[in-house]
Structure 1
Amino acid sequence: MFLVCGEALFDLFGTEGPSGLAFDARIGGSPFNVAVGLARLGQPAGLFTGLSTDPLGVRLAAALAAEGVATGFLKRTAHPTTLSVVDLDAAGHPAYAFYGTGAADRMIAPADLPALGADVWGIHAGSYSLVVEPVGSALLALFERERGRRLLTLDPNVRLNVEPDVDLWRARIDAFVRLADVVKVSDEDLGLLYPGRTAGEIGAQWRAAGAGLVVVTRGANGAEIFGAHGSLAVPGRRIAVVDTVGAGDTFQAAVIAALGELGIRSRADLDAAPRQSLLDIAAFAVMASGITCTRRGADLPRRAELPAGIGGSV
């Protein structure tokens, strides 16, 4: 099982109509999406988060169970569910406004960290749960506790409208990067965090700090990998984009799923992985995220929608 840690919320998509502004509510949150994406790709997954006992939290728990995501790591509380208002531009790119101060997904404390059995081979964390408190400190403590025992993956997924302090984001991401085995980051996030610096510079910096593999996603232009085999590039795919909501989460889930299918389940496995396997993993993730972009919202693909094998997809 891969344990995903972080927020769970509702995305509200606004639409102007003759009667005023109407909202289409969809379940979401980057870590929530990654957990669902893993389950859809055939990888056992669980979600560790604070989940409200309010009606929206009940729906989130039911959705996880329906997708086959393990719910035994959920911490149920009376704190409210986070809401995210999503505005799509003409190209389908989302802008978010979050309403979550004091919400359940932020209220995880270090004392709430779960004991993990031998069946949990990896842990993922990302997005604003890295920087808001007390959950940010709790997840950092979890990474510190589990470093070297399980494969640790990270996606900064920067949300400056939740925490506008870029210096805080940099400091916290640096702390996680020192512990992580695989870091996936978008070129957009790198631009926010390190304006004027290249992906290659940051990839080298993060690998020197401790990360084994850094994957930079470039939207329609595919992805670039920085690891033991140097810099490797995977092209994008031509698709009809509806919107890009959930594309990064899909990419992350697909990377983890491909690692699992190829038996790369530890840092030692990752360091020994051949060049072609890394290219195949990235190409699989590009293909998976492209499928999500052809659908509205974070509707992540199922394993049957992708080629049966990971290898040979480049």
Structure 2
Amino acid sequence: MYLVCGEALFDVFLDSEEDPGTLRLDARAGGSPFNVAIGIARLGGLSGLLTGISTDLLGSRLVKVLERESVSTRYLVRSGRRTTLSLVALDEAGHPDYVFYGLGSADCSVVKDELPTIGAEVTGFHFGSYSLVVEPVADAFTTVAAAAGGRFVSVDPNVRPTVEPDLDIWRTRVSEYATYADLIKISAEDLEFLYPNAKPETTAVDWLDAGVHAVVVTDGHNDVRAWTKSGLESRVRPPVSKVVDTVGAGDSFQSALLARLARDDDPKTAVTSLDAERLDDLLNYALQAASITCSRRGADLPRGNEIVDRLG
């Protein structure tokens, strides 16, 4: 089972066409790690979520969503703190812009002493987004990563400058996680935020030298690139499809990577033994997942049969 560590919240979508004096609430359960946990489960994998969840009305709804999606709730840390809200506005191309409200909420406030004991059923961890940098949960989660004990670790920085504008804090955390991680997936946009003007292959080599086994860089409608510690390099073109919006596209890609890695092997074994054919298969599978999500509104991640239908 993958244990996904990170935030859980509600995305509130703003209608740019409505009267500016009114505000209709179109809220969807979300948060990048929350989405990834659901995405893995929808693709037939086993997943659980480690996060702080409020006992308030919104928190209870988040728990119900996880239960409905067959995501383990064993590792939730419940508290009376409020639930984070994220306001989402889409530009003309369907790209989202996020503003977060409620930092200091349940998902950000987990401390080391509240961390549950990790069971033997957990074979891999995934970390990402603002839970990497917002204290005290960031410190708690680095403790989890450091204690992975040889189990698989995946990271997607998913940089959110509106939450933590100090990019040096992001760089420090990402560098630390690179010493724990087996897989780092990152967007070209996030790479540019963190390391302006650096070539993706240069950063990839730095992370591989730190101990990472595979680095994957996504770039919207441009080619996905990947490098492995064994010396493989791959470039795969995304499928052409209609884009409604790109909300959840990265989460779909990430969850598909993880689900595909664990299809036949322990994910640690799978990522360390990738050959060229399996690497390309992994990237193609994840690209199809992201493409399906982009074809519909919001972070509506695909089921396995939808990807199989696309791949033929």
TM-score, structure 2 as length reference: 0.96
CA–CA separation in structure 2 for the residues paired with 1:60 and 1:30: 13
Query: Which amino acid in structure 1 is aligned with residue 274 of structure 2?
Result: A
Distance 1:308 1:22 in 2: 36
For the 8 Å contact 2:261–2:270, the answer to whether it is kept is no
Residue number in structure 2 paired with 1:183: 184
Task: Check if 1:159 corresponds to 2:160.
Answer: yes
Percent identical pairs in the alignment equals 48
Structure 2 residue 51 is matched with structure 1 residue 12:
no
Q: Which residue of 1 aligns with 2:114?
A: 112
Match of 2:97 in 1: 95
1:233 partnered with 2:223: no
Runs of 4+ in 1 over 4 A off after TM superposition: none
Tell me the amino acid that sits aligned with residue 61 of structure 1: V
Is 1:49 matched with 2:56? no
1:264–1:273: 8 Å Cα contact kept in structure 2? no
Q: How many correspondences in the alignment?
A: 309
Q: Which amino acid aligns with 1:10?
A: F
Task: Tell me, yes or no, if structure 1 residue 217 matches structure 2 residue 218.
Answer: yes
Task: Kindly provide the amino acid, as one letter, of the partner of residue 277 in structure 1.
Answer: R
How far the C-alpha of 1:113 sits from its partner, in A, is: 2.1
Q: Where in structure 2 are the equivalents of 1:126-275 lying within 5 Å?
A: 126-148=128-150, 150-227=151-228, 228-266=230-268, 268-275=269-276
* Residues 212-234 of structure 1, C-alpha deviations (whole Å, 9 max, x = no match): 10000111113111102332111
DSSP 3-state at the match of 1:96: strand
Q: Which amino acid aligns with 2:83?
A: T
**Distance (Å, rounded) in 2 between the aligned partners of 1:304 and 1:269:** 22
Tell me the distance in 1 between the aligned counterparts of 2:145 and 2:22. 46
1:23: how far off?
2.4
Give the CA deviation at 1:304: 1.1
SS at match of 1:159: coil
Alpha-carbon distance in structure 1 between the residues aligned to 2:176 and 2:64: 34
Question: 1:64 aligns to what SS in structure 2?
Answer: helix
d(CA) in 1 for partners of 2:68 and 2:276? 37
- 8 A Cα contact 2:48 2:75, kept in partner: yes
One of 54, 60, 63 as aligned partner of 1:61:
63
* One-letter code aligned to 1:214: V
Tell me what 1:37 maps to.
39
After superposition, give the CA deviation of every residue in 1:131-173 in whole Å (9 maximum; x if it has no partner).
001110111110101141x110000000000000001100011
CA distance in 2, matches of 1:117, 1:297: 33
C-alpha distance in 1, partners of 2:199/2:23? 41
How far residue 264 of structure 1 moved from its aligned partner, in angstroms, is 4.5
Per-residue deviation at 1:112? 2.0
The residue number in structure 2 matching 1:85 is 87
- TM-score between the two structures when normalised by the length of structure 1: 0.95
Aligned-partner Cα distance in 1 for 2:90–2:113:
38
Q: Distance in 2 between matches of 1:210 and 1:271?
A: 11
The answer for unaligned runs of 5 or more in structure 1 is none
Deviations 1:28-81 (A, max 9, x none): 000000000011001011000000011110110000000110111111100000
SS in 2 for 1:154: strand
**1:276, 1:80 → 2: CA distance?**
46
Task: State the alpha-carbon separation in 2 of the partners of residues 224 and 147 from structure 1.
Answer: 29
Unmatched segments (≥5 aa) in structure 2: none
Q: Which residue matches 1:277? A: 278
Instruction: Give, in whole Å, the separation in 1 of the partners of 2:270 and 2:249.
Output: 27
1:222, 1:286 within 8 Å by CA — same for their partners in 2? no
Match of 1:304 in 2: 305
Q: Structure 2: how far apart are the matches of 1:270 and 1:308?
A: 25
Q: Deviations over 1:70-93 (max 9, x none)?
A: 111111100000000001000000
**C-alpha RMSD over aligned residues:** 1.5
For the residues of structure 1 that align with 2:33 and 2:250, how far apart are their CA atoms? 11
Aligned counterparts of 1:132 and 1:239: Cα–Cα separation in 2: 36
